[in-house]
Amino acid sequence: MSTYDLTVPAFLQILGALSGILSKADAHCKAKNIQPDVLLSARLYPDMFPLTRQIQTVCDFAAKSCARLTGSEVPVTQDTEKSFAELGQRIAKTIDYVKAFKPAQFDGAETRDITFPIGPSNQMTLKGAQFITGFAFPNFYFHASIAHGILRHNGVEIGKRDFLGVK
Amino acid sequence: MSTYDLTVPAFLQILGALSGILSKADAHCKAKNIQPDVLLSARLYPDMFPLTRQIQTVCDFAAKSCARLTGSEVPVTQDTEKSFAELGQRIAKTIDYVKAFKPAQFDGAETRDITFPIGPSNQMTLKGAQFITGFAFPNFYFHASIAHGILRHNGVEIGKRDFLGVK
């Protein structure tokens, strides 16, 4: 499998699904007269990221992983989103960014050394293949799943099909 | 990337990590005098799977995905686990099962038609590559992440490094 086929469609599927999930959460707030910030700032535990940061992190793992695998400049984001609409725009921009990569840009990425930060002061180097399966994917899916879990925990009516982006 | 290299190490990494997470949850119960079943039956929402079923589902996605990709007989499991020790054994058996596959068994899997059940009465057919990135991986990581989220939500002191299985 080419590294492009392995990564880009997977990122796009879950980003698109998350966009749909956030629309349902927004509609849930309107229907139940819930202030959106109650959900946007919800966490599963006090020292875990709130929903907004989970979504921002999913976007970053998709965008930055594509950048690192292709040797492109790693995009810097400001994380200023404060509403469902703004988070939707962040996801849309991330989808556009990921979609703009061409398959050829990923040629040879599986054997290339990828150096990336882990935590605030360390970095690690892995071959592209290990970077994808050992770091990029588990982190990307983790934050998407926890975002879904936060909304489920708060009563938003979404299910596994919403997580997978299946109609 | 070969389909084996893409899938088997990814499954083994997270299964091993989950085993470590469950050991920490078990130790947490002992230290805090919590009945293990309180955590084993914990859910993020009433109509979501409890922890035990999340772990069983992670194991199934790893084992059954390998079986389907290689055209092997899909293993049937009884889901009888009732303790952290039994769940640990379930994970260990799953690790052994996944490890027993040889890379050559996955040759050509990326273009093979994979037919699999979705829900109790439907099935779907995807090419192996799409089966992995569009179905097997997101489901596998989803249930592993939610298992982690259930334990975090209940105060077990684990973090992202535990999820990734990084020492």
The tens digit of pLDDT for each residue in A22-59 reads 999 999 999 999 999 999 999 999 999 999 999 999 99
pLDDT band at B1 (very low <50, low <70, confident <90, very high): confident
A162 sits in the region (left: phi over 0; alpha: psi -120 to 50; else beta) called alpha
- Predicted confidence at residue B92, as pLDDT, reads 98
Question: Hey, are the CB atoms on B1 and A149 less than 8 Å from each other?
Answer: no
Task: Quote the longest CA-to-CA distance of chain A.
Answer: 52
Residue of A nearest to B127 (CA): A1
A62-68 average pLDDT score: 98
Cα end-to-end span (Å), chain B: 26
Q: For residue A117, what are the β-bridge partners?
A: A123
**C-beta atoms surrounding A62 within 10 Å:** 26
- Residue A5, CA atoms < 13 Å, CB-side half-sphere: 14
Taking the CA of residue B22 and the nearest CA in chain A, the distance in Å comes to 17
pLDDT band at B80 (very low <50, low <70, confident <90, very high): very high
Q: What is the DSSP letter of A125?
A: E
Question: Hey, are the CB atoms on A13 and B134 less than 8 Å from each other?
Answer: yes
**C-beta atoms surrounding B123 within 10 Å:** 9
- Predicted confidence at residue A120, as pLDDT, reads 83
Percent of chain A with pLDDT over 90: 95
Beta carbons of B142 and A161 less than 8 angstroms apart = no
- Predicted confidence at residue A72, as pLDDT, reads 97
Interface check for B54 against chain A (CB to CB < 8 A): the answer is: no
Question: Hey, are the CB atoms on B129 and A6 less than 8 Å from each other?
Answer: yes
A119 sits in the region (left: phi over 0; alpha: psi -120 to 50; else beta) called left
B72 pLDDT above the threshold of 90: yes
Q: What amino acid occupies position B9?
A: P
- Which of A8, A118, A131, A133 to mutate: most B Cβ within 10 Å? A133
A119 pLDDT above the threshold of 90: no
B100-122 average pLDDT score: 94
Interface check for B135 against chain A (CB to CB < 8 A): the answer is: yes
- Predicted confidence at residue A1, as pLDDT, reads 86
pLDDT band at A158 (very low <50, low <70, confident <90, very high): very high
- Predicted confidence at residue A95, as pLDDT, reads 98
* Spacing of C-alpha A160 from chain mean position: 17
**C-beta atoms surrounding B68 within 10 Å:** 20
Residue B155 with chain A: CB contacts under 8 Å: 45
B134 pLDDT above the threshold of 80: yes
A142-153 average pLDDT score: 98
Q: How many helices (H) and strands (E) does chain B have?
A: 7, 2
Residue A9 with chain B: CB contacts under 8 Å: 130, 133-134
B167 pLDDT above the threshold of 80: no
Q: What is the DSSP letter of A83?
A: S
Interface check for A141 against chain B (CB to CB < 8 A): the answer is: yes
* Spacing of C-alpha B83 from chain mean position: 17
Interface check for A74 against chain B (CB to CB < 8 A): the answer is: no
**Cα A32–Cα A165–Cα A7 angle in degrees, nearest 5:** 135
- Which of A7, A122, A142, A157 to mutate: most B Cβ within 10 Å? A142
Q: What is the DSSP letter of B144?
A: H
Pairing of the two strands B122-127 and B113-118: antiparallel
Check if the interface score ipTM surpasses 0.95. yes
A118 pLDDT above the threshold of 90: no
